[in-house]
C-alpha cells in the first residue's frame, strides 16, 4: 500500500487516569517498515502518555493543532500549531499535556528492534513489546504512571533549541523547469541527529523534488494542505517486466510510505492550489539515491553525485 488517509485509519482511545488520547498508527496503515508515525489526539487537560525516554529511538513531533505544554525533565514549555519537537535517544524524559482545546500531534520515530525505553515514574524498562519491571509492582506501566499522581507543572520556561516553529526556520528554495519547492529542515534546526523532518511547500503544477528512490532510507510523508498527486515511476528494469507508472491523488491527511529498496521512484506534483507536506526520513550514511530521469546516483555517506549509463542486466552474459 502506498497511501492511506488519517480519516480512514483505525483510531483507538487509550485512557488511564490523567493519560488519555486517541492514537492512530498511520505508518503501519501506510505500510511503513523501519519507521513510523502516529497521530495522537490528546484530550483536553490530559497527557499523551507516561513520562519516558527512548533508549535507541529518536522521536520528532509536529503539532497539528490545539495547544498545550511539553513537559521535559520537570520543566514545561508552551507548544502550538506549527511547532516541531525533537527528542534524541536517552535524553530528556518527556510527555505532552493538552490545554483546554486539546492537543493534536504527529509523532515520527524509528523502529529499533532492540529498542529499550525507560519510564522513570512507572519504574519499568520497555524492550520491544516486553516490559521489564524494576519493582515488584505488576501493574501495566500506564496504570503505574497514573498511580504516581499528577505531574508538577511549573510556569512555562523559555523554549529550548529542541523546540522550533516552522515560521522561524529559513527555507531552502529549489527551482527548475519542472521542480520547485521551499524546504524547511525542521528536524535539523531542532537538533535531530539520526532522522529528519522537512516542511515542504510546492507551487501549483510543480514537483517537490526530481523523481528518486532510496536504497537504505525509508521515507514517510503527511500532506498538510492543498492537493496533488503522488507519482510512482518504475526503473527501466522494472518497466521491462511490465511494471507501470502510477499516480495517486493526495489531499490533507494523506499519509504516504516509501520503504527503502523498492526501485520505484517517487515525487509529488502539486495541484492547482499548491501542496504543503511533511517529509520524514532517516539519515543512513550507506544510502544510495537514484534519479531515473537524469541517470544520476547520489552516495550520501561520501557526498558524491555521478551519472550512470543504462546497461542491460544480461549484457556480457552467456
CA–CA separation, 23 and 259 (whole Å): 23
Cα dihedral 201, 194, 217, 70 sign: negative
pLDDT(317) > 50: no
C-alpha cell at 134: 524494576
- Comparing 136 with 185, the larger pLDDT belongs to 185
Domains and their CATH numbers in the chain: 3-165 (2.60.120.10), 166-307 (2.60.120.10)
CA–CA separation, 217 and 286 (whole Å): 9
**So what's the pLDDT on residue 318?**
45
Scanning the chain, the segments in alpha helix (DSSP H) are 26-30, 141-147, 186-189, 236-240
**So what's the pLDDT on residue 301?**
85
CA–CA separation, 67 and 99 (whole Å): 5
**So what's the pLDDT on residue 1?**
55
CA–CA separation, 309 and 270 (whole Å): 31
**So what's the pLDDT on residue 242?**
84
Q: Which residues contact 255 (CB under 8 A, 6 or more apart)?
A: 3, 4, 5, 6, 9, 26, 27, 29, 30, 37, 220, 221, 222, 223
Q: Averaged over 97-117, what is the pLDDT?
A: 88
**So what's the pLDDT on residue 312?**
58
Q: Averaged over 47-52, what is the pLDDT?
A: 96
Q: Averaged over 36-48, what is the pLDDT?
A: 97
Least confident of 22-26, 265-269, 310-314: 310-314
CA–CA separation, 225 and 277 (whole Å): 7
CA dihedral 25, 164, 116, 76 (to 10 degrees): -100
Neighbours of 128 (CB within 10 A): 12
**So what's the pLDDT on residue 126?**
74
* Percent of the residues in the chain that have a pLDDT greater than 90, as a whole number: 71
Q: Which residues contact 303 (CB under 8 A, 6 or more apart)?
A: none
pTM higher than 0.85: yes
CA–CA separation, 266 and 219 (whole Å): 10
Q: Tens digits of per-residue pLDDT, 230-246?
A: 999 987 778 888 888 89
Q: Tens digits of per-residue pLDDT, 136-146?
A: 777 888 888 99
Q: Which residues contact 152 (CB under 8 A, 6 or more apart)?
A: 74
Amino acid at each position: 500500500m502506498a497511501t492511506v488517509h488519517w480519516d480512514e485509519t483505525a483510531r483507538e482511545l487509550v485512557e488511564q487516569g490523567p493519560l488519555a488520547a486517541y492514537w492512530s498508527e498511520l505508518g503501519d496503515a501506510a505500510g511503513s517498515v523501519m519507521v513510523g508515525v502516529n497521530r495522537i489526539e490528546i484530550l483536553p487537560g490530559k497527557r499523551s502518555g507516561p513520562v519516558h525516554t527512548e533508549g535507541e529511538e529518536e522521536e520528532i513531533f509536529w503539532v497539528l493543532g490545539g495547544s498545550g505544554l511539553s513537559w521535559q525533565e520537570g520543566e514545561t514549555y508552551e507548544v502550538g500549531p506549527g511547532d516541531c519537537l525533537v527528542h534524541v535517544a536517552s535524553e530528556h524524559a518527556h510527555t505532552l499535556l493538552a490545554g483546554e482545546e486539546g492537543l493534536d500531534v504527529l509523532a515520527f520515530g524509528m523502529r529499533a528492534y532492540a529498542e529499550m525505553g525507560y519510564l522513570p515514574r512507572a519504574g519499568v524498562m520497555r524492550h520491544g513489546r516486553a516490559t521489564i519491571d524494576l519493582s515488584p509492582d505488576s501493574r501495566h506501566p500506564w496504570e503505574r504512571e497514573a498511580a504516581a499522581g499528577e505531574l508538577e507543572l511549573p510556569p512555562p520556561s523559555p523554549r529550548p533549541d529542541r523546540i522550533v516553529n516552522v515560521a522561524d526556520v529559513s527555507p531552502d528554495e529549489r527551482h527548475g523547469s519542472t521542480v520547485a519547492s521551499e524546504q524547511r529542515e525542521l528536524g535539523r534546526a531542532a537538533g535531530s541527529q539520526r532522522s529528519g523532518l522537512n516542511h515542504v511547500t510546492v507551487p501549483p503544477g510543480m514537483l517537490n523534488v526530481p523523481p528518486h528512490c532510496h536504497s537504505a532510507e525509508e521515507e514517510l510523508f503527511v500532506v498538510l494542505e492543498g492537493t496533488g498527486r503522488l507519482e510512482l515511476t518504475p526503473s527501466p528494469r522494472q518497466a521491462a517486466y511490465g511494471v507501470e507508472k502510477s499516480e495517486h491523488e493526495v489531499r490533507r491527511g494523506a499519509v504516504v510510505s516509501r520503504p527503502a529498496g523498492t526501485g520505484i521512484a517517487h515525487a509529488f506534483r502539486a495541484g492547482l492550489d499548491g501542496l504543503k507536506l511533511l517529509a520524514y526520513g532517516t539519515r543512513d550514511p550507506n544510502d544510495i539515491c537514484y534519479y531515473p530521469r537524469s541517470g544520476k546516483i547520489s552516495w550520501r555517506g561520501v557526498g558524491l553525485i555521478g551519472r550512470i549509463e543504462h546497461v542491460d542486466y544480461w549484457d556480457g552474459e552467456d
